[in-house]
Amino acid sequence: MAIKKQSTPLPTPAMVQISNMNTGIEPMVMSAYMLCYDEEQRLLEAQNEQTEKPLIHIRILGWMFVYNLGSSMLIKLAEAVTVSHDEDVTYDQLGEFFLNYWIRPFRIRARTPYSSHPSRPACEAKAVDLAAVLKEPNLDHKGAKALALERDGYRCILTGILDTNSVATSAVQVTYNEEGKPLQHMMETQCARIFSKSANESLSNERKKLYAGRAWAVLEGFGYGEILGELNGSDVNRLENVLTLENSCHSAFDNLWLWLEATEPDNPESHSYNIRTYRYYSHPSLPASVTFTNRARPEYRDRIPLPSKKYLRVHAACCGVAAMSGAGEYLDKVMRDQERINVLSADGGSSDVAVNAVWKAFYSVSK
Protein backbone atom coordinates (compact mmCIF):
# COMPACT_ATOMS: atom_id res chain seq x y z
CA MET A 1 0.00 0.00 0.00
CA ALA A 2 1.37 3.42 -0.96
CA ILE A 3 0.83 6.61 1.06
CA LYS A 4 0.85 9.56 -1.35
CA LYS A 5 -0.27 12.66 0.57
CA GLN A 6 2.43 15.12 1.56
CA SER A 7 0.85 15.66 4.98
CA THR A 8 -2.15 13.96 6.52
CA PRO A 9 -4.31 15.70 9.16
CA LEU A 10 -4.46 14.05 12.55
CA PRO A 11 -7.49 11.85 13.22
CA THR A 12 -10.01 13.33 15.63
CA PRO A 13 -9.64 12.12 19.24
CA ALA A 14 -12.86 10.15 18.78
CA MET A 15 -11.51 8.34 15.69
CA VAL A 16 -7.82 7.89 16.45
CA GLN A 17 -6.60 4.33 16.94
CA ILE A 18 -3.65 4.08 19.32
CA SER A 19 -2.20 0.63 19.96
CA ASN A 20 -0.34 -0.53 23.08
CA MET A 21 -2.52 1.75 25.25
CA ASN A 22 -3.63 -0.10 28.37
CA THR A 23 -6.26 1.26 30.72
CA GLY A 24 -3.67 2.55 33.17
CA ILE A 25 -2.14 5.04 30.74
CA GLU A 26 -5.13 5.74 28.47
CA PRO A 27 -6.30 8.97 30.20
CA MET A 28 -2.80 10.50 30.11
CA VAL A 29 -2.13 9.44 26.51
CA MET A 30 -5.50 10.65 25.19
CA SER A 31 -5.17 13.96 27.04
CA ALA A 32 -1.75 14.56 25.43
CA TYR A 33 -3.03 13.55 22.00
CA MET A 34 -5.93 16.00 22.36
CA LEU A 35 -3.42 18.77 23.06
CA CYS A 36 -1.70 17.93 19.76
CA TYR A 37 -4.99 17.79 17.89
CA ASP A 38 -6.17 21.13 19.31
CA GLU A 39 -2.86 22.77 18.36
CA GLU A 40 -3.15 21.40 14.83
CA GLN A 41 -6.66 22.87 14.53
CA ARG A 42 -5.39 26.24 15.77
CA LEU A 43 -2.63 26.23 13.15
CA LEU A 44 -5.07 25.26 10.40
CA GLU A 45 -7.33 28.18 11.25
CA ALA A 46 -4.38 30.59 11.01
CA GLN A 47 -2.71 28.78 8.10
CA ASN A 48 -0.08 30.81 6.23
CA GLU A 49 3.59 30.54 5.27
CA GLN A 50 4.64 30.92 8.90
CA THR A 51 2.55 27.96 10.04
CA GLU A 52 3.91 25.47 7.47
CA LYS A 53 6.75 24.09 9.58
CA PRO A 54 4.87 24.22 12.93
CA LEU A 55 2.06 22.24 11.27
CA ILE A 56 4.51 19.52 10.22
CA HIS A 57 6.02 19.48 13.70
CA ILE A 58 2.68 19.13 15.52
CA ARG A 59 1.69 16.35 13.12
CA ILE A 60 4.96 14.58 13.92
CA LEU A 61 3.92 14.58 17.58
CA GLY A 62 0.38 13.43 16.83
CA TRP A 63 1.33 10.64 14.44
CA MET A 64 3.99 9.40 16.87
CA PHE A 65 1.13 8.36 19.15
CA VAL A 66 -0.36 6.29 16.32
CA TYR A 67 2.96 4.79 15.14
CA ASN A 68 4.20 4.10 18.65
CA LEU A 69 6.65 1.40 19.74
CA GLY A 70 4.86 0.41 22.93
CA SER A 71 3.72 1.74 26.27
CA SER A 72 7.16 3.15 27.20
CA MET A 73 7.12 5.40 24.16
CA LEU A 74 3.50 6.41 24.76
CA ILE A 75 4.20 7.38 28.36
CA LYS A 76 7.37 9.33 27.48
CA LEU A 77 5.67 11.10 24.59
CA ALA A 78 2.57 11.96 26.62
CA GLU A 79 4.71 13.34 29.44
CA ALA A 80 6.78 15.45 27.05
CA VAL A 81 3.69 16.91 25.38
CA THR A 82 2.07 17.65 28.75
CA VAL A 83 5.21 19.31 30.13
CA SER A 84 5.47 21.38 26.94
CA HIS A 85 1.91 22.54 27.50
CA ASP A 86 2.65 23.54 31.10
CA GLU A 87 6.15 25.00 30.70
CA ASP A 88 8.12 27.25 28.36
CA VAL A 89 8.50 24.73 25.53
CA THR A 90 6.49 25.05 22.33
CA TYR A 91 4.98 22.13 20.46
CA ASP A 92 6.90 23.46 17.47
CA GLN A 93 10.20 22.95 19.32
CA LEU A 94 9.21 19.52 20.60
CA GLY A 95 8.11 18.30 17.17
CA GLU A 96 11.30 19.61 15.57
CA PHE A 97 13.29 17.88 18.28
CA PHE A 98 11.82 14.51 17.27
CA LEU A 99 12.31 15.32 13.60
CA ASN A 100 16.01 15.88 14.28
CA TYR A 101 16.68 13.09 16.78
CA TRP A 102 14.05 10.46 15.95
CA ILE A 103 13.31 10.59 12.20
CA ARG A 104 16.44 12.18 10.75
CA PRO A 105 18.91 9.50 12.00
CA PHE A 106 17.20 6.95 9.75
CA ARG A 107 17.49 9.26 6.76
CA ILE A 108 20.85 8.16 5.39
CA ARG A 109 21.65 11.32 3.41
CA ALA A 110 20.33 13.78 6.00
CA ARG A 111 22.84 16.17 7.49
CA THR A 112 23.59 16.54 11.16
CA PRO A 113 21.61 19.57 12.47
CA TYR A 114 23.79 22.62 12.77
CA SER A 115 24.80 23.94 16.16
CA SER A 116 26.60 27.22 16.72
CA HIS A 117 28.92 25.54 19.21
CA PRO A 118 29.07 22.10 20.82
CA SER A 119 27.87 23.25 24.22
CA ARG A 120 26.00 20.74 26.34
CA PRO A 121 22.75 21.63 28.07
CA ALA A 122 22.97 20.62 31.70
CA CYS A 123 19.90 18.37 31.61
CA GLU A 124 21.09 16.14 28.77
CA ALA A 125 23.58 14.12 30.79
CA LYS A 126 22.20 10.90 29.30
CA ALA A 127 23.06 12.01 25.75
CA VAL A 128 26.58 12.93 26.86
CA ASP A 129 27.00 9.57 28.63
CA LEU A 130 25.89 7.63 25.54
CA ALA A 131 28.10 9.72 23.26
CA ALA A 132 31.08 8.74 25.41
CA VAL A 133 30.61 5.00 24.76
CA LEU A 134 30.01 5.25 21.01
CA LYS A 135 32.42 3.39 18.75
CA GLU A 136 33.00 3.97 15.05
CA PRO A 137 32.13 1.02 12.78
CA ASN A 138 34.60 -0.92 10.72
CA LEU A 139 34.12 0.38 7.19
CA ASP A 140 34.75 -3.07 5.68
CA HIS A 141 31.34 -4.71 5.45
CA LYS A 142 32.18 -7.29 2.78
CA GLY A 143 31.77 -10.13 5.27
CA ALA A 144 28.28 -8.97 6.23
CA LYS A 145 27.29 -8.59 2.58
CA ALA A 146 28.53 -12.06 1.69
CA LEU A 147 26.68 -13.68 4.58
CA ALA A 148 23.50 -11.71 3.86
CA LEU A 149 23.64 -12.86 0.23
CA GLU A 150 23.99 -16.47 1.40
CA ARG A 151 21.05 -16.09 3.79
CA ASP A 152 18.84 -14.30 1.25
CA GLY A 153 19.50 -16.74 -1.57
CA TYR A 154 21.72 -14.37 -3.56
CA ARG A 155 18.75 -12.17 -4.38
CA CYS A 156 16.90 -9.07 -3.20
CA ILE A 157 15.02 -10.15 -0.10
CA LEU A 158 11.91 -8.18 -1.18
CA THR A 159 11.65 -8.54 -4.96
CA GLY A 160 13.43 -11.84 -5.48
CA ILE A 161 15.61 -10.27 -8.20
CA LEU A 162 18.89 -12.19 -8.47
CA ASP A 163 22.22 -10.55 -7.71
CA THR A 164 24.17 -10.18 -10.97
CA ASN A 165 27.59 -10.76 -9.40
CA SER A 166 26.37 -13.95 -7.75
CA VAL A 167 25.04 -15.18 -11.09
CA ALA A 168 28.36 -14.36 -12.75
CA THR A 169 30.29 -16.37 -10.16
CA SER A 170 27.78 -19.26 -10.31
CA ALA A 171 26.82 -18.83 -6.66
CA VAL A 172 23.21 -19.15 -7.76
CA GLN A 173 21.73 -21.09 -10.63
CA VAL A 174 19.70 -19.39 -13.35
CA THR A 175 17.04 -20.99 -15.55
CA TYR A 176 17.15 -20.19 -19.27
CA ASN A 177 14.54 -20.47 -21.99
CA GLU A 178 14.99 -22.15 -25.35
CA GLU A 179 16.55 -19.01 -26.77
CA GLY A 180 19.17 -18.95 -24.03
CA LYS A 181 17.68 -15.95 -22.24
CA PRO A 182 17.40 -16.02 -18.43
CA LEU A 183 13.90 -16.46 -17.01
CA GLN A 184 14.73 -14.58 -13.80
CA HIS A 185 15.43 -10.87 -13.44
CA MET A 186 18.96 -9.91 -12.46
CA MET A 187 20.29 -6.65 -11.01
CA GLU A 188 23.05 -5.42 -8.75
CA THR A 189 22.17 -5.73 -5.07
CA GLN A 190 23.53 -3.95 -2.03
CA CYS A 191 23.87 -4.63 1.66
CA ALA A 192 21.31 -2.31 3.25
CA ARG A 193 21.36 -1.56 6.97
CA ILE A 194 18.23 -0.95 9.02
CA PHE A 195 20.17 1.22 11.48
CA SER A 196 22.74 3.13 9.45
CA LYS A 197 26.43 3.01 10.25
CA SER A 198 26.54 6.75 9.55
CA ALA A 199 24.94 7.42 12.94
CA ASN A 200 28.19 6.48 14.65
CA GLU A 201 30.69 7.81 12.11
CA SER A 202 32.97 10.87 12.36
CA LEU A 203 32.90 10.73 16.16
CA SER A 204 36.03 12.87 16.38
CA ASN A 205 33.71 15.74 15.48
CA GLU A 206 32.26 16.89 18.81
CA ARG A 207 29.03 18.15 17.25
CA LYS A 208 28.45 14.88 15.38
CA LYS A 209 29.23 12.84 18.48
CA LEU A 210 26.79 14.79 20.65
CA TYR A 211 24.12 14.52 17.96
CA ALA A 212 24.52 10.73 17.91
CA GLY A 213 24.32 10.65 21.71
CA ARG A 214 21.06 12.60 21.64
CA ALA A 215 19.55 10.30 19.02
CA TRP A 216 20.43 7.19 21.03
CA ALA A 217 19.10 8.83 24.21
CA VAL A 218 15.71 9.35 22.52
CA LEU A 219 15.64 5.69 21.53
CA GLU A 220 16.51 4.70 25.09
CA GLY A 221 13.74 6.93 26.40
CA PHE A 222 11.30 5.02 24.20
CA GLY A 223 12.34 1.71 25.75
CA TYR A 224 14.89 0.53 23.18
CA GLY A 225 18.16 1.47 24.84
CA GLU A 226 19.62 -2.00 24.40
CA ILE A 227 19.95 -1.46 20.64
CA LEU A 228 23.01 0.76 21.09
CA GLY A 229 24.83 -2.09 22.82
CA GLU A 230 23.80 -4.45 20.04
CA LEU A 231 24.88 -2.19 17.17
CA ASN A 232 27.74 -0.14 18.59
CA GLY A 233 30.91 0.03 16.54
CA SER A 234 31.38 -2.74 13.99
CA ASP A 235 28.38 -4.59 15.40
CA VAL A 236 26.29 -2.38 13.10
CA ASN A 237 27.23 -5.01 10.47
CA ARG A 238 25.56 -7.85 12.38
CA LEU A 239 23.24 -9.91 10.21
CA GLU A 240 20.12 -8.90 12.13
CA ASN A 241 20.70 -5.34 10.92
CA VAL A 242 21.22 -5.98 7.20
CA LEU A 243 19.09 -6.89 4.19
CA THR A 244 20.01 -7.69 0.60
CA LEU A 245 18.18 -5.14 -1.56
CA GLU A 246 18.45 -4.24 -5.22
CA ASN A 247 19.48 -0.63 -5.87
CA SER A 248 16.05 0.97 -6.21
CA CYS A 249 14.65 -0.69 -3.08
CA HIS A 250 17.81 0.18 -1.18
CA SER A 251 17.47 3.86 -2.06
CA ALA A 252 13.78 3.89 -1.11
CA PHE A 253 14.49 2.11 2.19
CA ASP A 254 17.24 4.60 3.11
CA ASN A 255 15.03 7.57 2.19
CA LEU A 256 12.10 6.35 4.35
CA TRP A 257 9.97 5.67 1.26
CA LEU A 258 9.78 1.94 1.86
CA TRP A 259 9.27 0.05 5.11
CA LEU A 260 8.04 -3.27 6.49
CA GLU A 261 5.22 -3.79 8.99
CA ALA A 262 5.09 -7.18 10.69
CA THR A 263 1.83 -9.08 10.13
CA GLU A 264 2.22 -10.75 13.55
CA PRO A 265 4.24 -8.29 15.62
CA ASP A 266 3.90 -10.26 18.85
CA ASN A 267 4.90 -13.61 17.34
CA PRO A 268 8.71 -13.98 17.48
CA GLU A 269 8.58 -16.97 15.12
CA SER A 270 6.83 -15.03 12.35
CA HIS A 271 8.87 -13.15 9.76
CA SER A 272 6.04 -12.05 7.48
CA TYR A 273 5.66 -8.38 6.61
CA ASN A 274 3.38 -6.06 4.70
CA ILE A 275 5.42 -3.83 2.39
CA ARG A 276 4.56 -0.14 2.65
CA THR A 277 5.72 2.58 0.28
CA TYR A 278 5.53 6.36 0.12
CA ARG A 279 6.32 9.34 -2.07
CA TYR A 280 4.96 7.75 -5.21
CA TYR A 281 7.62 5.06 -5.06
CA SER A 282 6.75 1.92 -6.99
CA HIS A 283 8.58 -1.09 -8.28
CA PRO A 284 7.20 -3.59 -10.81
CA SER A 285 8.62 -6.56 -8.87
CA LEU A 286 7.67 -5.38 -5.39
CA PRO A 287 4.92 -7.57 -3.86
CA ALA A 288 2.34 -6.45 -1.31
CA SER A 289 3.84 -8.69 1.36
CA VAL A 290 6.89 -10.84 1.96
CA THR A 291 7.96 -13.68 4.24
CA PHE A 292 11.65 -13.87 5.05
CA THR A 293 13.17 -17.32 4.62
CA ASN A 294 16.68 -18.33 5.55
CA ARG A 295 18.04 -19.75 2.28
CA ALA A 296 21.53 -20.43 3.64
CA ARG A 297 22.99 -23.88 3.39
CA PRO A 298 21.89 -26.05 6.35
CA GLU A 299 25.33 -26.09 7.96
CA TYR A 300 25.36 -22.25 8.08
CA ARG A 301 21.71 -21.51 8.79
CA ASP A 302 21.90 -21.37 12.60
CA ARG A 303 24.74 -18.85 12.42
CA ILE A 304 23.09 -16.48 9.94
CA PRO A 305 19.99 -14.96 11.57
CA LEU A 306 17.17 -13.23 9.71
CA PRO A 307 16.70 -9.42 9.91
CA SER A 308 15.52 -8.29 13.34
CA LYS A 309 11.80 -7.65 13.76
CA LYS A 310 12.70 -5.18 16.50
CA TYR A 311 14.97 -3.11 14.26
CA LEU A 312 12.45 -3.17 11.42
CA ARG A 313 9.72 -2.08 13.82
CA VAL A 314 11.65 1.02 14.84
CA HIS A 315 12.43 1.83 11.20
CA ALA A 316 8.76 1.35 10.24
CA ALA A 317 7.55 3.65 13.03
CA CYS A 318 9.86 6.44 11.86
CA CYS A 319 8.80 5.94 8.24
CA GLY A 320 5.11 6.00 9.13
CA VAL A 321 5.44 9.23 11.08
CA ALA A 322 7.55 10.83 8.34
CA ALA A 323 5.02 9.83 5.69
CA MET A 324 1.88 10.96 7.48
CA SER A 325 3.27 14.19 8.96
CA GLY A 326 4.98 15.42 5.80
CA ALA A 327 8.38 15.30 7.50
CA GLY A 328 9.79 13.13 4.70
CA GLU A 329 8.86 15.68 2.05
CA TYR A 330 10.18 18.45 4.26
CA LEU A 331 13.57 16.73 4.67
CA ASP A 332 13.70 16.31 0.89
CA LYS A 333 13.24 20.05 0.49
CA VAL A 334 15.79 20.85 3.19
CA MET A 335 18.39 18.69 1.51
CA ARG A 336 17.67 20.10 -1.94
CA ASP A 337 17.94 23.66 -0.73
CA GLN A 338 20.81 22.91 1.66
CA GLU A 339 18.87 24.56 4.42
CA ARG A 340 19.38 24.09 8.13
CA ILE A 341 16.66 22.46 10.15
CA ASN A 342 17.03 23.81 13.67
CA VAL A 343 15.69 26.27 16.19
CA LEU A 344 17.43 29.52 15.32
CA SER A 345 18.63 32.09 17.79
CA ALA A 346 18.59 35.78 17.01
CA ASP A 347 22.03 35.70 15.43
CA GLY A 348 21.11 32.84 13.08
CA GLY A 349 22.94 30.11 15.03
CA SER A 350 21.43 27.08 16.67
CA SER A 351 19.86 27.87 20.02
CA ASP A 352 21.12 25.53 22.73
CA VAL A 353 18.60 27.23 25.02
CA ALA A 354 15.81 25.73 22.91
CA VAL A 355 17.44 22.30 22.90
CA ASN A 356 17.90 22.52 26.66
CA ALA A 357 14.23 23.33 27.16
CA VAL A 358 13.11 20.39 25.05
CA TRP A 359 15.41 18.01 26.89
CA LYS A 360 13.76 19.06 30.13
CA ALA A 361 10.39 18.25 28.58
CA PHE A 362 11.50 14.92 27.16
CA TYR A 363 14.17 13.26 29.21
CA SER A 364 13.90 14.78 32.66
CA VAL A 365 10.22 13.99 33.22
CA SER A 366 10.69 10.29 33.95
CA LYS A 367 14.25 9.08 34.16
H/E segment holding residue 163? strand 162-163
Residue 66 has pLDDT above 90, yes or no: yes
| Pairwise CA distance, residues 9 & 206, whole Å | 38
Residue 151's pLDDT band (boundaries 50, 70, 90)?
very high
pLDDT in tens, 326-339: 998 888 776 665 44
Residue 87 has pLDDT above 80, yes or no: no
| Pairwise CA distance, residues 20 & 25, whole Å | 10
Mean pLDDT on 128-152 = 75
Query: Would you list the domain boundaries of the chain?
Result: 2-362
String of b and e for 119-154 (b: at least 16 CB within 10 Å)?
ebbebbebbbebbeebebbeeebeebbebbbbbbbb
Q: By percentage, how much of the chain surpasses pLDDT 90? A: 58
Residue 111 has pLDDT above 90, yes or no: no
pLDDT in tens, 9-29: 999 999 999 999 988 999 999
Q: By percentage, how much of the chain surpasses pLDDT 70? A: 78
**Given this model, what pLDDT does residue 5 score?**
56
pLDDT in tens, 42-57: 999 998 888 999 999 9
Of 171-175, 271-275, 348-352, the range with the highest mean pLDDT is: 271-275
pLDDT in tens, 306-357: 999 999 999 999 999 999 999 988 887 766 654 444 444 433 334 555 566 6
The pTM (predicted TM-score) of the whole model is 0.88
Residue 78's pLDDT band (boundaries 50, 70, 90)?
very high
Mean pLDDT on 188-215 = 84
String of b and e for 251-276 (b: at least 16 CB within 10 Å)?
bbbbbbbbbbbbeebeeeeebebebb
Residue 195 has pLDDT above 90, yes or no: yes
Residue 115's pLDDT band (boundaries 50, 70, 90)?
very low
**Greater pLDDT, 289 or 182:** 289
